[in-house]
Structure 1
């Protein structure tokens, strides 16, 4: 499974495969029961997995699953109104607000155990000293990390912070007309100014070295997002908080994963190649931004 977006944490002391498997087994996913609206827990990372950790050459894949009950508000309102109409018709009285609330809760309690559910997954991967999470959403990433810490009884994980901010680094690259290291400028960017009514300029499918684009930055706007190409293997958007969005794995990389005839071989190759590429990208970005800050 190729991650399309990424939040990353530094792991000074990553857990072993055996320790991680044992920890996740204490917090497996279970369907929400009774009057529970949802439940979250760790699920099989691959359809063919026989455990909660998919170990591909030391890259440890896992998944947090959320299953929640679907009970549309319109359905609840309709059932409440039916009860209200019945009471007012049969008892010739008006149903007050408090009684309506009580009827609503009774209906929810009756329907909830029998309603349908929907599920979502957040995938994670431990590769070396990196925790890679398949989301650019900070709350989703923190939720997975919280569940992981609870299962392990604690985990030292730190946000990716560098001596130079990504915003400063990207702004410098745009002014220079080229990116550093193994990176090349892409064709998209988001520029934002300061102040309460900060101007915002979105550039898409355009040359970032154009004079009018550079002029925005010279006039005080900073780069908050920038499309980048890495070694002709990855295209992605780097954000100001060091998340990666819209990751596109170019053919030269995906073709390397097309080995073997079965799903397990493909998943193994995909996970190892993806982990190697993403961790190299993070390592190089951190180095170009002056190195990691505050990591023990």
Structure 2
């Protein structure tokens, strides 16, 4: 198995503000994103977020490369987040130095309010010297299916990217896709002895967590899951799966979570081998293979969970 260009997916439903299908053009999306193009942090700026070229990254073509790429009708974007890194020990030491100077000048220790001001002063002084770290988030929009997929390892990072997109694109509304059958209930049934739908097979990794106050956790890795031990945890031990490794049609492997996040995506090497032009086209071929497979996997997964939950 080889990694896809997407490692994780959080899936949202697209709509217009009045609940109508969202129908912006590629040009309108490009114009919206261009108003929030990524700019690195200024000297005393702790955080910066903005859109970069999904093909070239931040500096492609002098920063003028398209911010949305259409590959086979699938729209791809990338959000860049840059953050200044200030170790807490460094900040603490600087605050203590400032507090000592203040006490020597006034004859009394700083109170709570003054201590807060000193911390803000310390951070402001240290920010220009701080290291920066960058993280990018791939965003994929399937306008025909009216779905948005965000490659984020946490719900918080996905929500940040979704919020940034809504702020950038006028008239766009997003909501997380929810299913009639919860992933936890479905995974419980599959591990307890039922078979997953025919397109899917259970692999050799899962996490089980109890719902009581103990919150005990059992994890299996590279371990067969069709055993009495696993079934006992689920049937009589009161534990529910929070993560389960699955493979779809023998081609794409992933881990499904109880919050309907898709993690650790990988694809059968043969799919890349089949793309003879991959070495020449690079980004386009990877994007076409990834979106081509995942466009089929996502509706199959939703169907395996009894369909999308209707909303008012």
* TM exceeding 0.5: yes
CA positional deviation for 1:273: 1.4
Q: Specify the alignment match of 1:239 in structure 2.
A: 257
Aligned pair count reads 292
Q: Specify the alignment match of 2:6 in structure 1.
A: 3
SS of aligned partner of 1:108: helix
CA positional deviation for 1:101: 5.5
Matched, 1:186 2:186: no
The separation in 2 between residues aligned to 1:212 and 1:283, in whole angstroms, is: 32
Change (3 A) 1:256 1:110: same
The separation in 2 between residues aligned to 1:118 and 1:199, in whole angstroms, is: 35
Q: Specify the alignment match of 1:75 in structure 2.
A: 90
Question: For 1:266, which of 282, 292, 300 is the aligned residue?
Answer: 282
- TM-score (normalizing by structure 2): 0.83
- TM-score (normalizing by structure 1): 0.87
1:101-125 deviation per Cα after TM superposition (whole angstroms, max 9, x unaligned): 5554444333323533221111111
Between stretches 108-117 and 234-243, larger displacement belongs to: 108-117
Q: Report if aligned partners of 1:80, 1:103 keep a CA contact under 8 Å in 2.
A: yes
The separation in 2 between residues aligned to 1:260 and 1:275, in whole angstroms, is: 15
CA positional deviation for 1:224: 2.3
Matched, 1:32 2:41: yes
Matched, 1:137 2:154: yes
The separation in 2 between residues aligned to 1:203 and 1:158, in whole angstroms, is: 32
Q: Report if aligned partners of 1:258, 1:266 keep a CA contact under 8 Å in 2.
A: no
CA positional deviation for 1:229: 0.9
Change (3 A) 1:101 1:233: same
Change (3 A) 1:102 1:57: same
SS of aligned partner of 2:7: coil
- Structure 1: which 5+ residue stretches go unaligned? none
Computed over aligned residues only, the root mean square deviation of the Cα atoms, in angstroms, reads: 2.6
Matched, 1:251 2:269: yes
Q: Report if aligned partners of 1:177, 1:208 keep a CA contact under 8 Å in 2.
A: no
CA positional deviation for 1:11: 2.0
Correspondence 1:54-65 to 2 at 5 A: 54-65=69-80
CA positional deviation for 1:258: 5.3
The separation in 2 between residues aligned to 1:79 and 1:143, in whole angstroms, is: 31
Change (3 A) 1:163 1:104: closer
Question: For 1:117, which of 132, 142, 163 is the aligned residue?
Answer: 132
Matched, 1:294 2:307: no
1:255-285 deviation per Cα after TM superposition (whole angstroms, max 9, x unaligned): 23452444xx111111121112122111001
Q: Report if aligned partners of 1:181, 1:284 keep a CA contact under 8 Å in 2.
A: no
The separation in 2 between residues aligned to 1:203 and 1:260, in whole angstroms, is: 36
The separation in 1 between residues aligned to 2:128 and 2:157, in whole angstroms, is: 26
Q: Specify the alignment match of 2:170 in structure 1.
A: 153
Between stretches 275-284 and 142-151, larger displacement belongs to: 275-284
Between stretches 182-191 and 219-228, larger displacement belongs to: 219-228
Matched, 1:212 2:229: yes
Change (3 A) 1:77 1:181: same
Q: Report if aligned partners of 2:193, 2:231 keep a CA contact under 8 Å in 1.
A: no
CA positional deviation for 1:55: 1.6
The separation in 1 between residues aligned to 2:75 and 2:202, in whole angstroms, is: 32
Between stretches 29-38 and 109-118, larger displacement belongs to: 109-118
SS of aligned partner of 1:212: helix
SS of aligned partner of 1:9: strand
- Structure 2: which 5+ residue stretches go unaligned? 16-20
